[in-house]
Amino acid sequence: MVLLAIFGFLVYSNLFPKSPPTTTEFSDRGLDIKVSYGRPYKKGRLIFGEAKDKALQPYGKYWRLGANAATEITFSENVTFAGKPINAGTYRMYAIPGETSFQGSLNSQTGVFFGVREPDYTKDVLKVDLLVTIASDETKQFTINFAADSAGVNMDFVWDKFIIRVPITR
């Protein structure tokens, strides 16, 4: 009976996830970028802030940039990621939130299903500081999106009133 209940929970969780998995893609003249991540909802919670205030993502603590599995990004060719060179390939992407900036990282440890565990930091291949912009409107579900500009493409992490932009160029 217990096994049946566990099986039922696992099936239900995968059919109706609270933080649905999604893939966001960008393509331009041979450059393809793909991000796979889970999209949690705000649900009235304090998203970023101090641990003492019960923030979902406390400042200074590891965040997988989504929910469920670790967030992964794939580049079809070598690019610069927030001004630093990165080779084509697939990486685990995560951040350490701060009040005015986030530290974004790419890590060679991929295929991690339960991304709540911190990565092996010795496998980080890139670290960048990313400025936080406060939006006037609130975004209720975490979103990663792309917008082309004259220099390349911007990848934005948007949730609550926070926007974190990552410029990506060739």
Provide the domain limits for residue 43.
20-130
Domain membership flag for residue 73:
yes
Structure-block tokens of residue 40: 């949690």
Query: Cβ of 166: how many Cβ atoms within 10 Å?
Result: 21
Domain membership flag for residue 67:
yes
Backbone angles phi, psi at 137, to 5 degrees: -105, 150
Domain membership flag for residue 138:
no
Number of domains comprising the chain: 1
Domain membership flag for residue 71:
yes
Domain membership flag for residue 106:
yes
What does the pLDDT read at residue 18? Answer: 83
Domain membership flag for residue 63:
yes
pTM score? 0.89
Which CA distances in Å does 32 have to 13, 29, 81, 90?
A: 31, 8, 14, 12
What does the pLDDT read at residue 16? Answer: 52
Secondary structure, 3-state, 74-133: EECCCEEECCEEECCEEEEEEEECCCCEEEEEEECCCCCCCCCCCCCHHHEEEEEEEEEE
What does the pLDDT read at residue 4? Answer: 52
Domain membership flag for residue 94:
yes
Query: Cβ of 93: how many Cβ atoms within 10 Å?
Result: 27
What does the pLDDT read at residue 13? Answer: 44
Provide the residue-wise pLDDT of the chain in tens; the chain has 170 residues: 655 545 544 444 455 568 999 999 999 999 999 999 999 999 999 999 999 999 999 999 999 999 999 999 999 999 999 999 999 999 999 999 999 999 999 999 999 887 778 999 999 999 999 999 999 999 999 999 999 999 999 999 999 999 999 999 99
What does the pLDDT read at residue 2? Answer: 57
Give the list of residues 6+ apart from residue 61 with CB closer than 8 angstroms, or none: 51, 96, 97
Domain membership flag for residue 44:
yes
